Amino acid sequence: MATESRTMHSPPHQHGHASTQASTQPAHSGPAHADHSVARHRAAVAELLTGLRSADRTETLPLHAVLGRGLAYDVSAPISLPPFANSQMDGFAVNSADIPDGGADLPVADPLPAGATPAALESGTAAPIMTGAMIPAGADAVVPVERAVPDRFPVPGAEATVWLPATAAGTFVRSVGSDVPAGELALAGGTFLGPAQLGLLAALGISEVRVHKPLTVLLVTTGDEVVEPGQPLPAAKIYDANGTLLESAMRQAGLNVLRTGISTDRPEELRALLHAHAPAVDLMVTTGGVSKGAYEVVRQAMDGQQAEFRHVAMQPGGPQGIGTFDAVPFLGFPGNPVSCLVSFEMFLRPVLAELFGSPAPRTPLRARLAHGLTSPGHKHQVRRGSLQADGTVRLEGGESSHLMHALAGSNALVHVPEGVSALAEGDEVEVWML
């Protein structure tokens, strides 16, 4: 835990009544109360999870099984790429010294297909060479077939000559190691393995690699007001969006997700559930019950554990729980769906990318606002938006954290940093594509 940790001891829960907790906690949480910055809380999450990055949590798997994983070690190139000098074009392999400035007619030698080891080029001849074929000894350049006269390959076996223009040594030759030389770093440990990275490993002849094992996370949504989708909806209740939203985001990020169903607002029920699953998981994430209301089940269930509940200077997603439960890392996200996703994107996802190389990190982009906005100046505001083809970003929905439909119509998070209280149309903002 971070040094700023302060264990939260909540009073016993009184079911059906507001607990006394609210009256013993400061209800106001403005900047005067030393909110944690986004960066400080993210660093605390990284510190919490760093112990999960260890050698015994890696495994060696074939390439087809590691798509979306993070590489666990630096991979050096075992061979050069290309492995040998080869032709970049369908054309004629020549010795550049054989063709004077005005061009020359040269007898055509046997063709050189890709994959065959060629005989040395006889001095003063031109050999038809296919893209990717090895440059023969004695040749140092390739003239593309469309620059030859005639601009096609002669029928093999028939005697022929071809006129070729002068060409500089090295032209259309892919030299050995010009992509990556043997022995050099090909991919650094912590690299996300997407199609291009796996393609590079295959090109190097590597058929299996050591990667980080995926973490298993216990995901528990809480709240007496929450009902499973597909069930009837009683008055004053809402369907659980958080479970599906976060499970999907976590799976997309490469985590194994263990769902427990919805926990009620009884802390002893939640506590029993966490005790039961703790031995089998690497991380616990709860939603709801971390705020300053009168019924905060997660705060209450964490009584006696090493956890604290803080306010991060972020909107939405300010109230955050962090610590351990039975020594298992624990994060308590707030209860609104948009707050949940923003918490995941701002804290857990970037830390996973940094520590385990998976998921791929979000690339910070720059875009101009399609319209102005306001923001609480003392908080980092995260808005939802749609990036338009003209490079502007349109905000979807307002600041409010319950707008799932607006979130589902967005493709980006829009960042308004702490210290900024208003932005105008056309102002540039940082944007993360979802």
Shortest CB 15 distance to a second copy, Å: 10
Name the residue nearer to a second copy (CB basis): 153 or 325.
153
* Minimum CB–partner distance for residue 161 and a second copy (Å): 15
In the complex, minimum distance from the CB of residue 170 to a second copy, in angstroms, rounded to a whole number:
13
Report in angstroms how near the CB of residue 432 gets to a second copy at its nearest: 11
Return all residues near 155 (Cβ < 8 A) that are at least 6 apart: none
To the nearest whole angstrom, how small is the minimum distance from the Cβ of residue 54 to a second copy?
26
Two structure tokens written together for 246: 């976060």
41/332 Cα distance (integer angstroms): 12
* Closer residue to a second copy (CB): 212 or 384: 384
CB-nearer residue toward a second copy: 226 or 274: 226
Return d(Cα 323, Cα 302) in angstroms, integer: 9
* Other Cβ atoms closer than 10 A to 252: 12
| Complex with a second copy: residue 5 or 171, whichever CB lies closer | 171
CA max distance for the chain:
101
Written as six digits, the tokens of 97 are: 């010294």
For 289-293, which contacts have Cβ atoms below 8 Å and span 24 or more sequence positions? Answer: 289/222, 289/223, 289/265, 289/332, 289/335, 290/319, 290/320, 290/321, 290/332, 290/333, 290/334, 290/335, 291/319, 291/334, 291/335, 292/22, 292/25, 292/27, 292/29, 292/319, 293/22
Minimum distance of a second copy from residue 126's CB (angstroms) = 14
Nearer to a second copy, 190 or 328 (CB): 190
Cα gap 164→128, rounded to integer Å: 12
**Closer residue to a second copy (CB): 305 or 337:** 337
CB 249 within 8 A of CB 344: yes
Quote the least distance from Cβ 395 to a second copy, whole Å: 15
**Is the Cβ–Cβ distance between 417 and 380 less than 8 Å?**
yes
Strands 328-333 and 283-287: parallel
Tell me whether residue 278 or residue 404 sits nearer to a second copy (CB atom).
404
Closest to a second copy by CB, 174 vs 277, is 174
Give least dist CB 13 to a second copy, A: 12
**Residue 150 to residue 348: CA distance in whole angstroms:** 63
> How many Å apart are CA 27 and CA 293, to the nearest integer?
9
Residue type, 114: A
* Structural tokens at position 14: 């009184």
DSSP strand pairing (314-315 vs 380-387): parallel
- Beta carbon of residue 56, minimum distance to a second copy (angstroms, whole number): 25
Q: Which is nearer to a second copy, 47 or 399 (CB)?
A: 399
Element (H, E) at 44: helix 38-49
- The smaller minimum CB distance to a second copy, of residues 304 and 391, is found at 391
Secondary structure element (H or E) that encloses residue 104, with its range: strand 104-107
Kindly state the DSSP code that residue 229 receives in the 8-state scheme: T
d(CA 260, CA 283): 14
With tokens 């650094």, the residue in question is 188
- Report, in Å, the least distance between residue 212 CB and a second copy: 18
Cα–Cα distance, 208 to 230 (Å, whole number): 43
